[in-house]
C-alpha cells in the first residue's frame, strides 16, 4: 500500500471543521458537498439511529424535490459527523437552498418515517422520525448561524 493516493477529503484539516455545508470535490459536472452536521473528533457523533434516520428522510425529500433529477447521491459519512450530497448541474446556491428546504421539510414532517419497511431497508427497525427531526433542526440552525455570519461560502475554514 506504499503508493496509495490520499483521498481529497483527508487533506482538509479536520481540527478546523465546524458544522456547515462545504464543497468537498468537483469531478467534471458533479459536485460533492459535505453536509457537516457535527464538529469532528469532539466526542459529538451522531448515533447510528440518528444517522440512519436522517439519511432516509433527506434522501427521500431530495429525490422528491424540484431538483430531483440533479441529485446523484445522498448518504452518510462513516465517521458519523455528516452526510454527502452529490449534485449535477446545480449551483452552490441551488444546492444550499435544497438542503435548507429538505431539512425544514423533515422538521415539519407530519407522517411516517420513509422507507421503514423490511423490503425497503437493511435495518428497518433502526429508524426514528423524532431523532431525524432533532438532528435536522439542530443542523438547520447551525447553517443559518453560519449564513448570518457571512460564512455560507461552501469553503472549509482554514487554520
Q: Which residues bind Zn ion (CB under 5 A)?
A: 121
Instruction: Classify the C-alpha dihedral 52-53-54-56 as positive or negative.
Output: positive
In whole angstroms, the minimum distance from the beta carbon of 63 to Zn ion comes to 14
Burial 102-123 (b: 16+ CB within 10 A, else e): bbebbbebeeebbbbeeeebee
In whole angstroms, the minimum distance from the beta carbon of 126 to Zn ion comes to 8
**What is d(CA 83, CA 77) in angstroms, rounded to the nearest whole number?**
5
In whole angstroms, the minimum distance from the beta carbon of 23 to Zn ion comes to 27
In whole angstroms, the minimum distance from the beta carbon of 81 to Zn ion comes to 19
User: 28 near 133, Cβ under 8 Å?
Assistant: no
**What is d(CA 55, CA 128) in angstroms, rounded to the nearest whole number?**
11
**What is d(CA 65, CA 13) in angstroms, rounded to the nearest whole number?**
33
Amino acid at each position: 500500500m506504499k503508493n496509495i493516493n490520499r483521498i481529497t477529503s483527508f487533506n482538509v484539516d479536520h481540527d478546523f471543521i465546524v458544522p456547515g455545508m462545504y464543497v468537498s470535490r468537483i469531478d467534471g459536472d458533479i459536485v460533492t458537498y459535505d453536509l457537516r452536521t457535527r464538529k469532528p473528533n469532539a466526542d459529538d457523533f451522531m448515533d447510528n439511529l440518528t444517522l440512519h434516520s436522517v439519511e432516509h428522510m433527506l434522501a427521500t425529500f431530495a429525490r422528491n424535490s424540484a431538483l430531483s433529477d440533479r441529485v446523484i447521491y445522498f448518504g452518510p459519512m462513516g465517521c458519523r459527523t455528516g452526510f454527502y450530497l452529490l449534485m449535477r448541474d446545480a449551483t452552490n446556491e441551488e444546492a444550499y437552498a435544497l438542503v435548507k428546504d429538505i431539512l425544514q421539510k423533515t422538521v415539519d414532517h407530519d407522517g411516517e418515517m420513509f422507507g421503514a419497511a423490511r423490503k425497503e431497508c437493511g435495518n428497518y427497525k433502526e429508524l426514528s422520525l423524532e431523532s431525524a427531526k432533532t438532528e435536522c433542526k439542530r443542523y438547520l440552525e447551525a447553517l443559518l448561524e453560519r449564513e448570518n455570519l457571512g460564512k455560507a461560502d461552501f469553503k472549509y475554514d482554514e487554520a
